[in-house]
Amino acid sequence: GAVVSQHPSRVICKSGTSVKIECRSLDFQATTMFWYRQFPKQSLMLMATSNEGSKATYEQGVEKDKFLINHASLTLSTLTVTSAHPEDSSFYICSTGQGGYEQFFGPGTRLTVL
């Protein structure tokens, strides 16, 4: 199956700073990637669909100015959490929807905002 990586795996930042999380597809070209957020012991919540070369599509209730998504190439999508606050602390996971029905997930990024 497809291989998806995320960087960093873990990040701690101060409140008010911005954090960028990278999601890469290592062995294929991904025109679409998904970004999820997972709170402890809760489900994955889809935040947005990242589309290569065009604007991301955000789910209802997700602030697009807060969570900036850039999908500038077929192998890289980035999620930037701007002016992060403690309530943004979470586990962020990306996946790709290429290759038919199956989604391939990255290992996730643990964000802690102090």
Q: How far is the CB of 49 from other proteins (least distance, A)?
A: 7
Residue closer to other proteins, measured from CB, 78 or 104:
104
Give the residues lining the site for other proteins (CB under 8 A).
1, 32, 34, 41-46, 49, 93, 95, 97, 101-108
Instruction: CB nearer to other proteins: give 50 or 84.
Output: 50
Nearer to other proteins (CB atom), residue 51 or residue 82: 51
Instruction: Report the nearest approach of other proteins to the CB of residue 114 (Å).
Output: 25
Classified as helix, coil or strand, 67 is strand
